[in-house]
Amino acid sequence: DGGITQSPKYLFRKEGQNVTLSCEQNLNHDAMYWYRQDPGQGLRLIYYSQIVNDFQKGDIAEGYSVSREKKESFPLTVTSAQKNPTAFYLCASSIFGGGTYEQYFGPGTRLTVT
Amino acid sequence: AQKVTQAQTEISVVEKEDVTLDCVYETRDTTYYLFWYKQPPSGELVFLIRRNSFDEQNEISGRYSWNFQKSTSSFNFTITASQVVDSAVYFCALSDNTNAGKSTFGDGTTLTVKP
C-alpha cells in the first residue's frame, strides 16, 4: 500500500519541550510539505522540500525545524520557541515540486502542548 | 501574490439537493494550477481534481463537476444529489510559477448534508 504515514496520531507535550513529528512516504515522491491547521482555518505552509537535502521556509516557519536526509522521510521538530504549538499538523507529498502536481496527505498529528 | 477566496464558510443542505462551492482566485501568472481537496472528519485531505490555466474545459466525475472560468477567476465545484458522506470541509488551492511551487489554500467550506 502506497501512502503517507504520520505518527503518532495524538501527541501531548509540556510547554518548553521540543517535539518531533514523523512523516514517511513510500510513493517515491520528490517533494514533501508540512502544514499547520488551526480550528476552522485553512492550511498554512510551515516548510517544504523539493528534493533530498534541500528545504525552504514556508509562511510560518518560525519555531519549527525540518530535515530531509532521505527521500521518504521529512520529520518536523516543533521547538520551544514556537509560541502557540497546539494545532493539527499535516504532512503531504507530490511527485515533483513546482506546484504543478497535486499533493497527497497523511492522516495528520494532533499536537497538544500544555 | 496568490490568493484564494472561499466566501462560503459553511453550507448546510438536505440529502439529494445539489450544492455549489465557490472558489475565486488571484494570481498574476498566466500559468497556474487549481486544485480541490476534501477533508472528511477523519482529518486527512483527499485530492479531488487538478486543472491547469490553459484548460478551461469543465469536468464531470460522477456526482462531482467543476466549472473553471478564467474570465471571472473562478473554479467552482458542484455536487449533484448530495449524500451524507459528502459532509466534509472542502478546500480550493492555487499554485503558480512565481511562488516557488507553493500552494495557497483557501480557508475551506464546511459542507453538512443532512439526511
Give A67-109 pLDDT, tens digit per residue: 999 999 999 999 988 889 999 999 999 988 777 889 999 999 9
Mutate: best of A100, A109, A110, partner B, most B CBs <10 A? A100
B36/A contact by beta carbon, under 8 A: no
pLDDT category at B58 given cuts 50, 70, 90 is confident
pLDDT at A33 over 80: yes
- Using a CB-CB cut-off of 8 Å, the residues of chain B touching A97 are 101
Q: Average pLDDT over chain A, rounded to whole?
A: 93
Spatial neighbors of B106 by CB under 8 A, at least 6 apart, are A42, B4, B5, B6, B23, B91, B92, B93
Spatial neighbors of B26 by CB under 8 A, at least 6 apart, are B1, B2, B3, B4, B5, B73
Higher-confidence residue of B115 and B99: namely B115
Q: Which residues of B33-45 are buried (b: 16+ CB within 10 A; e: fewer)?
A: bbbbbbbeeebbb
pLDDT category at B2 given cuts 50, 70, 90 is confident
- Residue in B44, B50, B108 nearest the CB of A42: B108
* Residues facing residue B80 across a β-bridge: none
Taking a C-beta distance cutoff of 8 angstroms, is the pair A92, A4 a contact?
yes
- Exposed / middle / buried, residue A114 (Cβ in 10 Å: 0-12, 13-18, 19+): exposed
Q: Do A102 and B47 touch (CB under 8 A)?
A: yes
B21-30, B54-63, B79-88: the lowest-pLDDT one: B54-63
- Using a CB-CB cut-off of 8 Å, the residues of chain B touching A98 are 95, 97, 101
- Using a CB-CB cut-off of 8 Å, the residues of chain B touching A102 are 35, 47, 50
Q: Do A42 and B105 touch (CB under 8 A)?
A: yes
